[in-house]
A = this chain, B = another copy of it.
Amino acid sequence: MTGMFATRVSVEQIEEGYELAPKFDADGLIPVVTTSAKSGEVLMLGYMNEEALKLTIQTGEAHYYSRSREQLWRKGASSGLLQKVTEIRIDDDQDAVWIAVEIDGPYGEASCHVGYRSCFYRSLEVGQGDDEPAKLKFEEHELVFDPKEVYGDAPNPTKI
């Protein structure tokens, strides 16, 4: 046991118990689904390490672990797009987290580094064949903020 995380001892404890006993993967991370507390929309999928999960629970501000920058990431520290956590949930086997957040920035609910509201701004149609790349469709049509203005010359976290 390390502070707020219980040691995982049994399937019953993990699935039906009242103690937080999260499972971090080989890289020390747990995936996190972030939804809008207002609309329910999925805003992003991120990762937390032990420190980020503890800080999120203790402070009520979403903290992640940035895999591209390889460091703790207080969401909004550079962009101002802070996420206030209204609810935290853990899944059955405690290897995934769901948080609902409110964002009180100058750009409304913006949470995507590209400048869209949700990171999931493109859809694809069900029923496409395997003979050519599946076609994407934009579900958001305008940036809600200018990434250059918000992030300046910070490197783009997207890796090829």
Interface residue ranges, A against B (CB under 8 Å): 1, 3-6, 8-11, 14-21, 23, 31, 33, 35, 40-42, 44-45, 54, 57-58, 60, 85-93, 96, 98, 112-114, 116, 119-137, 139, 156-160
Which listed residue, B8, B19, B60, B88, touches A160 by the CB 8 Å rule?
A: B8
Selected A-B contacts with CB under 8 Å, 9 pairs: A6-B133, A19-B135, A42-B42, A58-B127, A89-B120, A89-B123, A89-B139, A93-B159, A98-B120
By the criterion CB–CB under 8 Å, are B15 and A124 in contact? no
Give the oligomeric copy count: 2
Q: Given A40-B40, A92-B114, 4 other A-B contacts at CB below 8 A? A: A10-B160, A19-B135, A85-B126, A89-B123
